[in-house]
Structure 1
């Protein structure tokens, strides 16, 4: 490498690549570690791919698989991992490198590792490399030679890899019983048991997501759909979300959306009720992949063959999103949803047997068509009078709520919403959010989710109204939807961070408790842990009440608390609530309520 003459140096490197798989040398692992580092930092450098590095890596993998004595000698156990990683790193960006790799025969040894011939660590990087090779048009067919086996293996890995990593590594609490070379590869020799566990969680999530990525490559070409669309696999696919450690990957929902682009995929998904319900929950969440859930449902609704298989459940969820303007870089999201739901509006009413769906479609029609027409004809003076009236009714609702008459407060907020002009989005957001709080108090989580979702659609930007996020997080918690509750709670906490970027962040402790509870429920290895430790009961932390001393006021303390929560997984129930309007003291409530009602009558008299 240090040879100044380029020609001599290239010849030496090429000879090294040819000789390395044939000779025994204790320093091979150091060379492979160096090559791994170069491939990671300079994946687009053409020098090593042009000098035979792919052939060398493939032969080293084969030797590790077929010569067990060699593999267990010196530190050769590390070599297959590094070799597969080098192949994956050099093929992730450049199709010409991928072609060289295929021509060098790397696919058969990678598939051997994918079969689990050594361990899950090598299998993980083999899946990564094969995913890169399958993603290019010019190298896809080389992987597709093994199509049925690769697809079946990828499905099996996606289903079992989390359990495998937990059973063979994370669940092994005694450091001395963990495979040393796994520990070294995970942490590079730095960090103890906790660091190894956190890194293993990250790797396990990547392992699952990369196996799903291989399936994406086949599904996007409508290949092997008969295998991928098996009901049992689809049912589990919606639960593969990558967790917080791999939030950049759409994981299971990414594959589901690709399947929705094909007729076969849409039919299979529509027939899986549990999967449709998961897509509906995703569509009403603050998850980064919310738009994918919406996309999938709209694709199912646009297809005449699947529309009436999903419309009954989809309508009851999507109705809450019809006033959503933008979502990320997408505009007119709610308009699109309403238009697709109202396709063949008159005909669909005849086909539908569910009266609730008919009522929901009528509500969308009334809101998006009839009410808009009616409000366009209103004079500015009439609009202003209506706004004043709505404000007075809202005040009445607030006073009634604090008097303890929650059901009557719901009626007041509903009355105000019926009158409030559609263009008054902020006022309607507050009304929906306040009504959601009432539904929480009445222990009606479904209604609370509906109203808080509508409030979040009216917020600017979408999903940014903190109080509605917290209310929906609580409602999802009541229904046992831990992931959706966790996402909303994280967004709620992010609101505190963004609102006070230059000062110490003041995060309510009840939100920290909710995060802790849902992190435990959605932990990547939660299912594997419950299978291997059935009968064990998690210890519940005893926490103090919500006073000023129980706030995280320093960002560093907050970060440490979040880390500890992930490790301890403690939680406590009985969460606090937030009301949209400031607390009104008990004294004078009746007097203020009477005054508000008198003002309301005066406005009504003037408007008539």
Structure 2
């Protein structure tokens, strides 16, 4: 009986159904029942017998409704107290054991919604997680995680297991499958983007129920591609989160810290597609809190470079990159493995005041870089590192002490005099720049920066920014990034100086650091407030970098290389020529939407 027919049944008849033990006709009518007693009894009956429902369409619609109900109010105890987890566990087991049943009609949606309901109800309430574990949901979720069905079901299974692993009360139950779950999570995090691209995005005839789940029947191929990118990112981020739960307990550290996986992890961003997830950097920071983890991370050059680039970016997770580097530098067993590389990046951040509720962060960085025990036997600094340390000592120690003494006497007058001199030198630098003497302008900016009092932060910000632009004009992208970073550290709030953001974005573009360039360009547009009319040059940069950072770009390139290699092995394609016309075989290239 459908919902409209069921609504015609009178109240006395519905109560009679309960009294004689009949299963309710329609779940939606049960949810509309006003009598609490009747509603409770009917829900208990429905949850108990739902896995025996014969109408596959009704079952799929019911599960879809329960999932929406759970997402709208995940802390509502009604359904969890009446057996929703036992019901979902039964449905998952039936789906996994009876292949013929699950492939009948709408039943193919059942495992997806069942796992999603478990994850939705356990994302906020530890008590619900305990009920779910006691109901036996872990075994079928792990089976879905193994890839028993497809990446679509894998996504919600990993999410649900991640929630269960997040709570002290239920972590042990997940940890009972530690080795397998960790290995599966690592494999999924590493391969899921390629899998989604190969099995969905690049396929002409897509699996129908995948398309329906992605877009709910709305939108075409473009919408499906965007949602596929979002879901692939979520699958990767939730897999990394599951690994983080084990790393937090200092479990499976050696397995997680395999060299190849750390290299892959350094490129797992989250962020642009999955805004609330720190993805790879979140796991890396957790690893850096353990001695064993720090040892492994410090041996990965790719990871250290990734942390250094993140620390000098306008990314939301910049502070995590800085935290991780400081943890590595404080440990005497890892300090000298990362000191040379990280010093040249962190020295640009020593004038940071606060970042993400971390007060005096620049002073903390300075103390770590100038630790007394940074002279290890047999360890010698390179010329660049020695120069950076001397500059750091001169600015943060000697110059600060000197200026503090001046303030006690007639310092205010001398500060004003210095400000006048700095303005004159800056004008001279601007004039030299106008006539094309960039080197002369840089010399003037050097002198002005040396004379400008530390307390005049805004003036120094402008000088660093101007010098950074000069370096970029000379083609020195590294120096431009360094100066613009210093300027952005002096801005209030941090990373809010438009000119420095745009210059650094262009410098990062030259270096091939597309993500960092994109983040700076987006921040530049937000800071400048162009009122919806983004300048062409900024829109062009955003489009370029979004294409380069497209989640599926590497998968697309890998597939293209494989196709080219296949063609090569089969010999060159024949080129036929006709008068005035040439024909040749061309391998089509799928160009991603720049708005992805």
**TM-score where L is the length of structure 2:** 0.87
Verify: 1:473 aligned to 2:473, yes or no.
Answer: no
The one of 550, 556, 559 equivalent to 1:529 is 556
The one of 35, 38, 46 equivalent to 1:8 is 38
Aligned counterpart, 2:489 = 457
Is the Cα contact below 8 Å between 1:436 and 1:471 reproduced in 2?
yes
Aligned counterpart, 1:117 = 148
Verify: 1:374 aligned to 2:406, yes or no.
Answer: no
Aligned counterpart, 1:567 = 593
The one of 22, 35, 50 equivalent to 2:66 is 35
Verify: 1:431 aligned to 2:457, yes or no.
Answer: no
* Structure 2: distance between partners of 1:134 and 1:212: 12
Aligned counterpart, 1:185 = 213
* Structure 2: distance between partners of 1:569 and 1:84: 31
* Structure 2: distance between partners of 1:294 and 1:243: 17
* Structure 2: distance between partners of 1:110 and 1:188: 24
* Structure 2: distance between partners of 1:509 and 1:348: 52
Change (3 A) 1:195 1:144: same
Verify: 1:59 aligned to 2:85, yes or no.
Answer: no
Verify: 1:143 aligned to 2:171, yes or no.
Answer: no
SS of structure 1 residue aligned to 2:326: helix
524-533 vs 148-157, which deviates more? 524-533
Aligned counterpart, 1:515 = 542
Verify: 1:98 aligned to 2:129, yes or no.
Answer: yes
Q: What CA deviation, in whole Å up to 9, does each residue of 1:382-420 have, x standing for no partner?
A: 221111111111111110011101111111100111111
Q: What CA deviation, in whole Å up to 9, does each residue of 1:392-451 have, x standing for no partner?
A: 111111100111011111111001111111111111111111111111111000000000
Aligned counterpart, 2:368 = 340
Is the Cα contact below 8 Å between 1:84 and 1:129 reproduced in 2?
yes
Q: What CA deviation, in whole Å up to 9, does each residue of 1:24-43 have, x standing for no partner?
A: 22311111111111111121
The size of the alignment, in residue pairs, is 535
Is the Cα contact below 8 Å between 1:457 and 1:463 reproduced in 2?
yes
* Structure 2: distance between partners of 1:350 and 1:423: 39
* Structure 2: distance between partners of 1:36 and 1:328: 35
Is the Cα contact below 8 Å between 2:546 and 2:594 reproduced in 1?
no
Is the Cα contact below 8 Å between 2:91 and 2:114 reproduced in 1?
yes
Is the Cα contact below 8 Å between 1:496 and 1:505 reproduced in 2?
no
Is the Cα contact below 8 Å between 1:464 and 1:495 reproduced in 2?
yes
57-66 vs 355-364, which deviates more? 355-364
| Mapping 1:536-551, distance limit 5 Å | none
Verify: 1:225 aligned to 2:253, yes or no.
Answer: yes
* Structure 2: distance between partners of 1:14 and 1:74: 26
Aligned counterpart, 1:542 = none
357-366 vs 456-465, which deviates more? 357-366
* Structure 1: distance between partners of 2:356 and 2:289: 21
* Structure 2: distance between partners of 1:3 and 1:471: 63
Verify: 1:442 aligned to 2:470, yes or no.
Answer: no
Aligned counterpart, 2:584 = none
Structure 1 unaligned spans of 5+: 538-564, 571-608
CA drift at 1:566: 6.7
* Structure 2: distance between partners of 1:365 and 1:203: 48
CA drift at 1:45: 1.1
Q: What CA deviation, in whole Å up to 9, does each residue of 1:468-513 have, x standing for no partner?
A: 000000111111000000000000011122xx6xxx4442211111
Change (3 A) 1:397 1:536: farther
Is the Cα contact below 8 Å between 1:282 and 1:293 reproduced in 2?
yes
Change (3 A) 1:569 1:126: closer
| Mapping 1:281-300, distance limit 5 Å | 281-300=309-328
Change (3 A) 1:536 1:71: closer
Change (3 A) 1:491 1:348: farther
Is the Cα contact below 8 Å between 2:544 and 2:594 reproduced in 1?
no
* Structure 2: distance between partners of 1:467 and 1:224: 46
Aligned counterpart, 1:601 = none
RMSD: 1.7
* Structure 2: distance between partners of 1:149 and 1:34: 33
Is the Cα contact below 8 Å between 2:53 and 2:59 reproduced in 1?
no
Is the Cα contact below 8 Å between 1:159 and 1:236 reproduced in 2?
yes
**TM-score where L is the length of structure 1:** 0.86
Q: What CA deviation, in whole Å up to 9, does each residue of 1:226-269 have, x standing for no partner?
A: 11011110111010001512121100000000000000110101
Aligned counterpart, 1:489 = 521
Is the Cα contact below 8 Å between 1:39 and 1:86 reproduced in 2?
yes
Aligned counterpart, 2:106 = 75
The one of 414, 417, 430 equivalent to 2:449 is 417
* Structure 2: distance between partners of 1:231 and 1:154: 16
SS of structure 2 residue aligned to 1:347: coil
Structure 2 unaligned spans of 5+: 1-29, 565-590
* Structure 1: distance between partners of 2:373 and 2:423: 35
Change (3 A) 1:219 1:528: same
* Structure 1: distance between partners of 2:238 and 2:392: 40
Is the Cα contact below 8 Å between 1:352 and 1:358 reproduced in 2?
no
Verify: 1:25 aligned to 2:55, yes or no.
Answer: yes
Q: What CA deviation, in whole Å up to 9, does each residue of 1:536-568 have, x standing for no partner?
A: 99xxxxxxxxxxxxxxxxxxxxxxxxxxx9715
The one of 353, 356, 364 equivalent to 2:384 is 356
SS of structure 2 residue aligned to 1:343: coil
CA drift at 1:346: 7.0
CA drift at 1:535: 8.9
